[in-house]
Structures are given as C-alpha cells and as structure tokens.
Amino acid sequence: MYPALHNCKQRSSEMELHRLAPLLLVCLCMLLPRAHGSRKLYVAYLGERKHGHPDDVVASHHGTLSSILQSKQEILDSIVYSYKHGFSGFAALLTKEQARQLAELPEVISVQPSRRYKTTTTRSWDFLGLNDKVPSELLTRSRYGDDIIIGLIDTGIWPESRSFNDDGYGPVPSRWKGVCQTGVGWDRGNCSRKIIGARFYHAGLTKEELKADYLSPRDARGHGTHTASTAAGSAVEAAGFHGLATGTARGGAPRARIAVYKSVWRSAAGAGVGTTATVLAAIDDAIHDGVDVLSLSLVVEENSFGALHAVQNGVTVVYAAGNSGPAPQLVRNTAPWVITVAASKIDRSFPTVVTLGNKQQIVAQSLYYEAKNSSGSTFRLLADGGLCVDALNGTDVRGQIVLCAAFQSPPFLLFPIALSNVLDAGASGLIFAQYSMDALDVVADCKGIPCVLVDMDMANQISNYMADASSPVAKIEPARTVTGEVEAPAPKVAAFSSRGPSVNYPEIIKPDIAAPGASILAAKGDSYALLSGTSMATPHVAGVVALLKALHPDWSPAALKSAIMTTASVTDVRGMPILAQGLPRKFADPFDYGAGNINPTRAAEPGLIYDIDPSDYKKFFGCTFKKSVQCNATMLHGYQLNLPSIAIPDLRHPITVSRTVTNIGDFNAVYRAVIESPAGVRMDVEPSVLVFDAASKVITFQVKLSPLWRLQGAYTFGSLTWLNGQNTVRIPIAARITIHDFYADVS
C-alpha cells in the first residue's frame, strides 16, 4: 500500500551510520558528501516552482549550481535537498564565497546559512469544551476529524503507543500521496490507517549528532509522540503519569490521520537538533503529500518561505511561539501567514502538602508520587541550602530535606542545578522556592526524592519556622490531582510562553492565539508524560484546525485562523480577565495571548471571516525574501493585510486601516461595531453597522486610529467587536504612539 521511497541518499547514509548491509555502498560513495574544507550547509530560495515535473525542477537546480561549481560531480556532492514540490529551492554544501556567488545569480531570491533550531491530554480538551463522553457538537459534526491529515514536523513518533491504534479506521484517504520511509526500528508495518505516512530528514547533521537516535521516523526523544497524540491521538482509557492526571487521553481530532516528518533529532545530551534545510525539506514533501494542517513545535528561522508556500497550497501552518517568556519581544515564528501559538495553563493543579514540625501545612506543587522503593512520607530534618547553585559540601544534608531559593533566575535554569547539587549531597528531599513558571515538568524526574515548588511567601514561612525550631523537620506527601474551577483561575497565560511584539513583523500582532501548554498529559514512548511548553500548545491548535477543516472543507488557512482568533476567550471561566503569569503577574494583553485563549466550539460558527487571498502576502512582504536591492519601497504596510488583528507600531498621525469581512452565517445579518479604543488613541469605525444579505456577503470597513497625545509611548491595547444576536466577532488592536524612530527606553 505504501510506495517505496527510492532515495539512495537517505538509505546510503543510514547504511553508513548503522552498518546494516554493504549493499548500497556504491551509491553511498557517490552521494554522501564528505565534509571537506570550510563548506557549510546553505539554503537557496528560488521562488515558485516554474517547471511541471519535479525532475525538471531538480535539473534547473543543477543548472543554477553549474554557474558556480565546475563539474557534475561537484554539484552532486554539494546538493543535499532539492525543494521541488511546493516551491523551488535547494540546500547545498558551499563555501562562503560560493554562497555569495550563488546569491548574485538572477534566478536566486535568497541564500541563507542553514541554521540549527531546537524544539521548544486529557484534561486540556475537556477544559476547551471538547469532551468525548458527552461529545460536543463540534466533535460529532466534524466526525472527530476523520480523513483530515495532520502533518507533524517533529522528532518522529512511537507507533506502538496506544494513542495511535487504528482499530476501526477506514482506508487511507485516496488523495494521500505520501510514503512510509523505512529505517532503523521502522518498517512498512509501522505505518497504519492512523499513521498514514512517515519520513525523516537529517542532512547537515553529523554522525555524532545522530548517534543517539533511530535513523528512521521512530521517536527516541518523545517530543513528537507527545505532540502527535495531543493533536490526533485516539482515545486511550486510564492514561496518566504515575497516578497523576489520570483519565482518558486523546487528541483534539481523535480520528484525524497523522503524517510524520521527522526533522528534529535527539542529541547525545538529550536535546533536539535540526536545521533549516531539514524543516524546508519536510514542508516541501508535506505540500506534495497532501496534508491539511502542519504542526511545528519548534523554533525555526523567521524567514519562513516554506510555510508561505504551504499556505498558498491550502495547508494551514501552526507554529509554536517559543518558550522565552515572560520577557517581551522574543516571540518567534511570527510570519503573518502562520498561526503562532502561545501557551496557557488549564484548570488542573497538583497540590502537594508539606507539613512542618509545628503542624503548619504548606500546599506546594509537584509531580511527586510514591515510588515503590521510596522511604515514604516521613518527617525529615530540614536544611537551608541557600541558592543551591554551588555544591553543598559545606553542610551535611544526608537524608534531609533541603530548602533552595531561586529568586530571580528562571527556575528552568536553576532548578536542575539545585537538584543535582542536592542529590550529590545525599539529600532526601528538595523544596524549591521560585516565581511561578507554570512548568511542572522540571520536577517530573527528581531521581526518586520528593521535590516540590513553593513561592517566596511559603519559603519565608518555612525559613521562619526553621529559625525558631531547634531541630526543624518537614514531611512531604505525594501530590494530588485537582481539576475544576474551585482551584486557581484558568486559563492563564503561562510564564514561559514567549511574548510579543514581533521584532520581524511589528505591524502584525503576535502571538495569534493561546492554547493549553502547561503540564499536558500525552503519549511518550509506551506510556504517558506531563510536558509543558508552547510545543504542547501548538498541536492543540492543529487539532482544532483539523476539526474545523472537516466541518468547512472550503475554508482557506486564513479563514480557519480568523475563525479561531475572532472567537477566542479573553475572560476566564468566571468572566474575569485572563491573567498572564510572569514578573509581575498582570492582566493578559495581545502580546501575551494574541486574540485570547482558543475556544473550539465557538470557532466552528464564527459568523464573519477575515479572509486573505494567499497572493496578497506578496504585496505586503515582498522584501521579506528578496535581496534588499529589489525591495519595493511602495510596498503596502503590514497592518493593511486583512488579518483578524491590527497593530500600529508608530502612530504619529491618524492612520486608516482597511478590513474586509465575509458573512458565512445566515444571509440576512446585521452586525454593530463595539469599539474599545487603546488608551491615548481615538478609534473610529466606518461604517459602524454592517448589513449583509444574499446579495452582499462581503463588506469592507475602515478603522481610523488617531493619536490623542504627543509622546514616545508604550503599547496600549483595545479591540473591535462585531456583534449580532448570535455572534461576537472580536479582533485585538495594539497601538504605540511615537515621536522618534528606534527610541529605546530601557534605562
């Protein structure tokens, strides 16, 4: 059923790395380039493909390279990937001088070094209103995403996971043109009616970087299995992490088909590595194969022409915003044509009771569970380890619980150091004081000792008790799982979620949307794990896109994004504004969560759509991909693109922004504008009433933003909402009044 992939290069390198068989050695010597001299991997972009047959596109790439390389052999040695389906371009090993020469050729739009990049449940879907026990209308009407194909560009997949069981699935959709590429620990039988395709890409990575992974679509790291099962895992009863977060694990579109594009590899140190070249190769193939939505939980180069071509081919591209929050301006993957996803925290927590010797109880958070060989929850001596960043050899803490405090540094950085120092010193427990990072996975593996997170106030209480007691003791009990509104406010934007504004596209609000991404339970290997990150939020959006696409097959990627954004929630379950966790905690704004937290049920019937013809992107962002000399100064402003958001980074005089909405609800509908102006800005909408009927389905309106003050200001935020009886169509607005260009106030 699966066409074999006749790719000598892939096979040969796999041979070389794993010495499976000497069969294709000839092929290997010819095609596997030896790294020599100072050649590096570059990615050349040639724009839209201009030839009908992929072979002709490849021939044209060889033609281009023949201008700078002498022989056919040199070309074959140099070229690593030809991008020939969704767009034209190639990845090639070149010297710096050759890359410069290549960039000067008229047919070449850009040449960039291939950069390294990194990767950044159960309850979350119930929280979003998609419960399969009481199936939501969206789930049943979309037939659980049946026949929608979600492509995951990630670390591969673990096909044995119960989440990818294909029992009861119909045949693979006939439009599918992908392959099942075999390799180490992966044969044709590992593809199924659930995992309908699998490929892998490793060009540009060294043997050293690949040796800790399977040279195949198999996932050694667990990240890709987690994201795939979040987007499209079949329902699995009684999943959990050592008794925590138990329930039915399933993906957002539990019947959708999965196509695996492994482009991130597990390094010996356990981190993920990949390159621009491999991600582009994956996107090019995914366009060819016929995926409907691509989910990329990784941070890649901004200049994402691959994603642009995917969108032009009708593929919705969903990217992680990155995990660099709460600092501003670090949001990544911000191209206007993709959906950039922030991470929110759901209404689940893992309270862990710490009892002090004076009977005072403190409720910490942890993923501590009673291991079989654990010494149980008993009172132990408490020791103060200070910051715990240095070895604790000054103090004898064997068998004791150590209190450590990370006052300023992100706990992501300090916790592992503190844990390692505390373990080295022979301690039997760790109480770690920090500001909230909403990422419990740092405490998921504490090598058998209980480790809990507390805030500064709790740490202070413990310190006070320690100062008073002659021999202070504490007891840590295993964590419990608590869900529902009675606990902390939810959703909240997670502290680690990267924040806007976008440096590359300031005339666009980024991120676009927030989705659950903190302590998400999903498949990892044969079991289930809680992971946090915008990596976990991204497949939530991909799953929702799959459901919406099943319901509305004719919607463009821009329409799907519009539906998701204009229906997002900006208030929590109690109607309070959504908070953004960080330093300090505050009300969330569009640079934290874009349009808000995703609301799948409402997204199914958005009323109005802000659509974009994919060819429009070029009118606005031609300079993005072109050599600077070709940039057209008359290019339109990014804020004129018909996005479901408006950002004006330099408001010095009144600016009028145009938007067009398409009515996709009842023919006869009247919408009225509800305006919430950003502080310091006057906002006028014309017309302020939109009257739709059978003849008039598309209406353009103007939003005029006028500065009320003259100052070098910070961003303020507002919104424009179109209301009729049934629908609330809201877009976020960000504006900054300025006087000078590039004026920083960071003193």
Ligand X SMILES: *[C@@H]1O[C@H](CO)[C@@H](O)[C@H](O)[C@H]1NC(C)=O
Q: At its nearest, how many Å lie between ligand X and the CB of residue 216? A: 8
Is the Cβ of residue 131 or residue 632 nearer to ligand X in the bound state?
Answer: 632
What are the tokens at 137?
């209308």
Location of structure tokens 């006070």: 464
Q: At its nearest, how many Å lie between ligand X and the CB of residue 348? A: 30
Of 16, 160, 302, 684, which lies in the binding site for ligand X, with binding defined by CB under 6 A? Answer: 160
Distance, C-alpha 704 to centroid of its chain: 33
Kind of pairing, strands 429-433 and 401-405?
Answer: parallel
Check if 535 is active-site: yes
Contact partners, residue 71, CB within 8 Å, separation at least 6 = none
* Under rule CB under 6 A, residue 391 binds ligand X: yes
Instruction: Select the span of 74-82, 359-367, 385-393, 693-701 touching ligand X (CB under 6 A).
Output: 385-393
Cβ 440 vs Cβ 349: under 8 Å: no
Kind of pairing, strands 195-200 and 257-262?
Answer: parallel
- Phi, psi dihedrals of residue 131, rounded to the nearest 5°: -100, 130
Nearest Cα to Cα of residue 336 among 361, 364, 312, 362: 312
Cα–Cα distance list, 123 to 345, 434, 444, 698 (Å)? 11, 26, 18, 39
Pattern 181-200, ligand X, x by CB under 6 A: ----xxx-xx----------
* Under rule CB under 6 A, residue 393 binds ligand X: yes
Location of structure tokens 């005072």: 360
Cβ 719 vs Cβ 735: under 8 Å: no
> With b meaning 16 or more CB within 10 Å and e meaning fewer, what string describes 3-16?
eeeeeebbbbbbbb
Is the Cβ of residue 159 or residue 678 nearer to ligand X in the bound state?
Answer: 159
Location of structure tokens 């047959």: 53
Instruction: Select the span of 299-307, 345-353, 361-369, 391-399 touching ligand X (CB under 6 A).
Output: 391-399
Residues 222-281 contacting ligand X, CB under 6 A? none
Coil, strand or helix at 107: coil
Q: At its nearest, how many Å lie between ligand X and the CB of residue 183? A: 9
Q: At its nearest, how many Å lie between ligand X and the CB of residue 427? A: 15
Sheet holding 715-723, edge to edge: 646-651, 728-737, 715-723, 669-676, 689-692
Is the Cβ of residue 178 or residue 410 nearer to ligand X in the bound state?
Answer: 178
Pattern 113-152, ligand X, x by CB under 6 A: ----------------------------------------
* Under rule CB under 6 A, residue 658 binds ligand X: no
Q: At its nearest, how many Å lie between ligand X and the CB of residue 392? A: 8
Q: At its nearest, how many Å lie between ligand X and the CB of residue 23? A: 18
Is the Cβ of residue 95 or residue 395 nearer to ligand X in the bound state?
Answer: 395
Instruction: Select the span of 168-176, 206-214, 387-395, 710-718 touching ligand X (CB under 6 A).
Output: 387-395
Q: At its nearest, how many Å lie between ligand X and the CB of residue 396? A: 12
Is the Cβ of residue 156 or residue 450 nearer to ligand X in the bound state?
Answer: 156
Is the Cβ of residue 421 or residue 519 nearer to ligand X in the bound state?
Answer: 421
Helix axes 534-551, 557-566, angle to 10 degrees: 110
Check if 292 is active-site: no
Active-site pick, 154, 438, 572, 589:
154
Check if 223 is active-site: yes
Instruction: Select the span of 270-278, 282-290, 390-398, 645-653 touching ligand X (CB under 6 A).
Output: 390-398
- Phi, psi dihedrals of residue 509, rounded to the nearest 5°: -75, 130
What are the tokens at 533?
């990150």
Active-site pick, 61, 85, 202, 223:
223
Q: At its nearest, how many Å lie between ligand X and the CB of residue 184? A: 8
* Under rule CB under 6 A, residue 394 binds ligand X: yes
Cβ 362 vs Cβ 465: under 8 Å: no
Of 56, 104, 390, 686, which lies in the binding site for ligand X, with binding defined by CB under 6 A? Answer: 390
Nearest Cα to Cα of residue 142 among 534, 560, 515, 724: 560
How many residues touch ligand X under the rule CB under 6 A: the total is 14
* Under rule CB under 6 A, residue 420 binds ligand X: no
Is the Cβ of residue 385 or residue 516 nearer to ligand X in the bound state?
Answer: 385
Active-site pick, 12, 436, 532, 535:
535
Pattern 604-623, ligand X, x by CB under 6 A: ---------------x----
Q: At its nearest, how many Å lie between ligand X and the CB of residue 391? A: 4
Is the Cβ of residue 160 or residue 455 nearer to ligand X in the bound state?
Answer: 160
Is the Cβ of residue 134 or residue 629 nearer to ligand X in the bound state?
Answer: 629
Is the Cβ of residue 155 or residue 323 nearer to ligand X in the bound state?
Answer: 155
* Under rule CB under 6 A, residue 358 binds ligand X: no
Cβ 637 vs Cβ 657: under 8 Å: no
Cα 249 to Cα 601: distance, rounded to the nearest angstrom = 20
Contact partners, residue 219, CB within 8 Å, separation at least 6 = 154, 155, 156, 157, 158, 225, 262, 525
The letter for the amino acid at 354 is V
Contact partners, residue 408, CB within 8 Å, separation at least 6 = none
Is the Cβ of residue 192 or residue 677 nearer to ligand X in the bound state?
Answer: 192
Q: At its nearest, how many Å lie between ligand X and the CB of residue 312? A: 18
Cβ 552 vs Cβ 139: under 8 Å: no
Cα 608 to Cα 559: distance, rounded to the nearest angstrom = 9
* Under rule CB under 6 A, residue 632 binds ligand X: yes
Cα–Cα distance list, 506 to 192, 199, 244, 318, 590 (Å)? 43, 35, 42, 19, 13
Instruction: Select the span of 240-248, 388-396, 495-503, 540-548 touching ligand X (CB under 6 A).
Output: 388-396
Residues with a known catalytic role: 154, 223, 535
Footprint of ligand X on this chain (CB under 6 A)? 159-160, 185-187, 189-190, 390-391, 393-394, 619, 632, 634
